[in-house]
Amino acid sequence: MILVGIGANLPGLDGSAPRETCCAAAAALDALPGLRLRALSRWWESAPIPPMPGAPWFVNGVARLAGEADPAELLAALHAIEAAHHRARPFPNAPRTLDLDLLDCHGLVREGPPPVLPHPRMADRAFVLLPLSEVSPEWHHPVTGKGIEELIAALPPQDLRPLAS
């Protein structure tokens, strides 16, 4: 099982809303060679972490993919999808048109080379864990062994709400 976080908080260059970009990214994930989209969480709206005054809230979700992929090649494919949606990286945690994070790749644990797996900050982020619980409620963190519900229960309060369908 491969888990990919999807997020955006800026409109696309064509004026498309962040949610539209996230939906397009999910379709692009399903079109990757050798992979198939098996589940997509509902969309969530969350405040930027770390807080960034004036920055728009993010639309976030998690996709569960089936198939085999080399993690480095998959990361490159995710970056290509981001680039197709005009992702810019002017500074860390900058607002963005699209952000795709490889969260987990078949439970692989690796410190490097990139990507680091599992994603090093995923266990601290409600905008990752709540959607992840929708697509893979049986998931356990590959390093700590903690289940998704235990990780969610340990989260500090975060500004997050599900979006209407």
List the domain boundaries for the chain: 2-162
Per DSSP, the three-state class of 77 is: helix
Separation CA 83–CA 67 (nearest Å): 23
Separation CA 50–CA 52 (nearest Å): 6
Burial 20-45 (b: 16+ CB within 10 A, else e): ebbbbbbebbeebeebebeebbebbb
- What is the pTM for the complete model shown? 0.96
Separation CA 108–CA 163 (nearest Å): 31
Angle, helix 18-30 to helix 71-84, in steps of 10 degrees? 140
Mean pLDDT of 134-160: 97
Under a CB-based contact definition with an 8 Å cutoff, are residues 119 and 5 in contact? Answer: yes
Separation CA 9–CA 48 (nearest Å): 9
Q: Which residue is it, tokens 């994930």?
A: 29
> Which CATH architecture does the domain made up of 2-162 adopt?
2-Layer Sandwich (3.30)
pLDDT tens digit string along 150-161? 999 999 999 999
Confidence of residue 94 (pLDDT cuts 50, 70, 90): confident
Q: Is the pLDDT of residue 89 over 90?
A: no
**Cis ω before 50 (30° cut-off from 0):** yes
Average pLDDT, the chain: 96
Q: Is the pLDDT of residue 50 over 90?
A: no
Question: Other CB atoms closer than 10 Å to residue 140's CB: what's the count?
Answer: 15
